[in-house]
């Protein structure tokens, strides 16, 4: 078939060798044990989820891009990455309304690009959402120690507590989990607004471009102290203001009226993130100076204290930064579990990982990545490296998701679309070009992280090529969507009269 489906795809009750079952009862039993709780989230909770994925990036991380590009270069990089995410979100919103499954971007690529496209996209997303929580757990540990909480001198008890407590909330139920995330995210966003109001009292435009100019760099000036190439090198740091927002469609199967709720929530969350990015970036650098905050692990607090004693506001923002990290950590665990669930349910990964509990939570999809994340955090303690690996996986998935929108528009122009992307394929083409540029930029920032991600990607590809692609589950939602599209295309070809 056109989408790559073949006779070796097994029904759910197939034995390990992949021989198909003959009756529907096996399919029903298989999917019954792999069902999420429907209708648990509306557009408001989904908007909170989209902001929660990202909000920790406003508190720290983006400022390291100042050391690569200066204020002007990072501003251009962040603007271009904001454009990329906006175009990507609009493209995803259209596909999410048409294909509302837990697979998210993997489901879109499966329909548009076939089995290989679906697997490559889903694996890249999984790399992002499995590494990012481990990285953020390390950052939470650093925050707890810097605030001298609980008298801890080692990070691993914090990592263990984070994974145990927050996975436990997810196991309790998705509705409870999303409400918890919404509350913590609200605290983090409110604190950002209070920070901006406080920092703007000390704003000085002359501090924005106080990084010394590297005269040997091409195009270097006070606004671009590292030259034009610095803009490109700052792409991954510009992404920190938005990294993760593309995960909203992963909640599709647990959403009320997904065809309408998902596009609305994605647009609102992206709008909120754009506003927060602009305010945080300008207020932080203008209050203290780009040179002073470029290497700070806690740039917002540094901007408020100005090298002096802690203030009431700086202490408040410090604790709020911890809330932001918790919000992102909590929501990224959710996203990773749903991506793993969808890939496992369809047979791309071991099927037992998609089993759900009586409360309709994918318990192994939460526990297994949690164990891996804790091991990585405790074993390496290198949050920055793990986050760079996650960024590499993210950029691959962005390029493939944008390509999926283009392919789906061209291959199935008459597909009923409740929501249509403004600008159509032009919008997704912009996202595709910028995603490829961001992917290349990761090699400029952390080449070792890029090669680690490629190694993990290579192992996953080998597993799919030699094993799981012969054992896919035909009745999984993403596979059914793809099979239906292929059958309709075949019928259209048969109905078309031959040319004389």
Cβ proximity of 342 and 103 under 8 Å: yes
How far is Cα 379 from Cα 138, in angstroms, rounded to an integer? 11
> What's the structural domain count of the chain?
1
- Name the residue with higher pLDDT: 487 or 159: 159
DSSP state at residue 7: T
Q: Report the pLDDT value the prediction gives residue 248, as an integer from 0 to 100.
A: 94
**Six-digit token string for 438:** 């961001």
Share of the chain above pLDDT 90, in %: 63
Give, in order, the Cα–Cα distances in Å from 314 to each of 109, 203, 275, 341, 399: 45, 16, 22, 41, 39
What token pair was written down for 103? 């697979």
Question: 252, 282, 250: which is closest to 79 by C-alpha?
Answer: 282
Model confidence at 382: pLDDT above 50: yes
- Token readout for 61 is 């991380």
Residue 479's domain spans which residues?
42-487
- DSSP letter string, 36-76: --TT-B-HHHHHHHHHHHHTHHHHTTGGGGHHHHHHHHHHH
Q: Within a domain: residue 339? A: yes
User: What is the predicted pLDDT for the residue at 29?
Assistant: 83
pLDDT in tens, 447-489: 898 899 999 999 999 999 999 999 998 888 888 877 776 666 6
- Could you read off the pLDDT of 170-193 as tens digits, one per residue? 898 887 888 998 999 999 999 999
pLDDT at residue 434 is higher than 90: yes
Q: Is residue 321 part of a domain?
A: yes
pLDDT of 478? 83
Sorting pLDDT into bands at 50, 70 and 90, what band is 142? Answer: confident
Q: Is residue 71, in this structure, part of any structural domain at all?
A: yes
30 within a domain of the structure (yes/no) = no
| pLDDT, average across residues 191-198 | 95
Residue 35 domain flag: no
**Cα angle value 405/133/83 (rounded, 5°):** 35
Q: Which residues contact 10 (CB under 8 A, 6 or more apart)?
A: 18, 19, 20, 21, 347, 471, 472, 473, 474
Helix (H) or strand (E) holding 462: helix 447-466
Question: Each residue of 217-242: pLDDT tens digit?
Answer: 899 999 999 999 999 999 999 999 99
Does a structural domain hold residue 18? no
DSSP state of 239: G
Alpha helices in 220-297 (DSSP H): 228-233, 235-238, 258-288, 290-293
pLDDT digits (tens, 9 = 90+) for 285-328: 999 999 999 988 889 998 998 767 788 998 899 888 889 999 99
CATH number at residue 62: 1.20.1740.10
Residues 314-371 pLDDT 10s: 889 988 888 999 999 999 999 999 999 999 999 999 999 999 998 889 999 999 999 9
Q: Is the pTM of this model over 0.85?
A: yes
Assigned domain for 12 exists: no
Sign of the CA dihedral with 209 first, then 215, 221, and 224 last: negative
Backbone torsions φ then ψ of 121, nearest 5 degrees: -70, -50
pLDDT at 11 over 70: no
Tens digit of each residue's pLDDT (9 = 90 or more) over 34-88: 888 887 889 999 999 999 999 999 998 899 999 999 999 999 999 999 999 999 9
- Percent of the chain whose pLDDT exceeds 70: 91
297 within domain boundaries: yes
């Amino acid at each position: 078939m056109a989408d790559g489906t073949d006779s070796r795809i097994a029904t759910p009750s197939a034995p390990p060798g992949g021989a198909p079952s003959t009756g529907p009862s096996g399919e029903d039993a298989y999917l019954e044990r792999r069902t999420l709780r429907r209708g648990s989230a509306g557009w408001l909770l989904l908007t909170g989820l989209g902001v929660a994925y990202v909000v920790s990036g406003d508190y720290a991380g983006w400022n390291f891009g100042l050391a690569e590009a200066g204020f002007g270069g990072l501003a251009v990089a962040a603007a271009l990455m904001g454009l990329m995410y906006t175009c990507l979100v609009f493209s995803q919103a259209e596909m999410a309304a048409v294909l509302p499954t837990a697979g998210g971007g993997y489901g879109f690529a499966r329909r548009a690009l076939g089995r290989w496209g679906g697997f490559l996209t889903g694996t890249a997303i999984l790399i992002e959402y499995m590494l990012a929580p481990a990285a953020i757990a390390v950052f939470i540990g650093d925050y707890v120690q810097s605030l001298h909480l609980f008298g801890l001198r080692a990070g691993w008890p914090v990592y263990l507590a984070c994974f145990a407590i927050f996975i436990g909330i997810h196991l309790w139920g998705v509705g409870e989990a999303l409400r918890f995330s919404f509350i913590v995210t609200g605290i983090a966003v409110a604190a950002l607004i209070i920070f901006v109001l406080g920092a703007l009292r000390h704003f000085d435009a002359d501090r924005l471009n106080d990084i010394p100019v590297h005269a040997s760099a091409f195009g270097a000036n006070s606004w671009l102290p590292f030259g034009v190439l610095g803009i490109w090198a700052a792409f991954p740091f510009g992404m920190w203001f938005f990294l993760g927002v593309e995960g909203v469609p992963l909640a599709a199967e647990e959403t009320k009226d997904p065809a309408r709720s998902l596009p609305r929530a994605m647009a609102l969350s992206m709008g909120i993130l754009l506003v927060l990015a602009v305010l945080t970036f300008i207020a932080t650098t203008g209050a203290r100076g780009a040179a002073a905050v470029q290497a700070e692990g806690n740039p917002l607090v540094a901007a408020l204290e100005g090298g002096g004693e802690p203030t009431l506001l700086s202490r408040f923002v410090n604790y709020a930064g911890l809330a932001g990290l918790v919000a992102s950590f909590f929501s990224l665990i959710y996203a990773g579990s749903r991506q793993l669930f969808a890939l496992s349910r369809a047979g791309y990964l071991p099927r037992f990982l998609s089993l759900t509990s009586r409360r309709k939570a994918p318990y192994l999809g939460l526990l297994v990545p949690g164990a891996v994340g804790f091991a990585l955090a405790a074993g390496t303690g290198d949050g920055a490296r793990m986050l760079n690996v996650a960024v590499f996986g993210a950029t691959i998935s962005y390029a493939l998701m944008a390509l999926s929108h283009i392919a789906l528009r061209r291959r199935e122009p008459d597909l009923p679309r409740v929501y249509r992307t403004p600008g159509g394929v032009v919008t997704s083409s912009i996202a595709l070009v910028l995603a490829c540029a961001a992917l290349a930029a990761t090699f400029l920032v952390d080449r070792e992280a890029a090669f680690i991600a490629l190694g993990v990607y290579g192992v996953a590809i080998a597993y799919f090529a030699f094993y799981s692609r012969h054992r896919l589950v035909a009745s999984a939602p993403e596979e059914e969507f793809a099979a239906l599209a292929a059958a309709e295309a075949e019928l259209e070809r048969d109905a078309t009269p031959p040319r004389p």
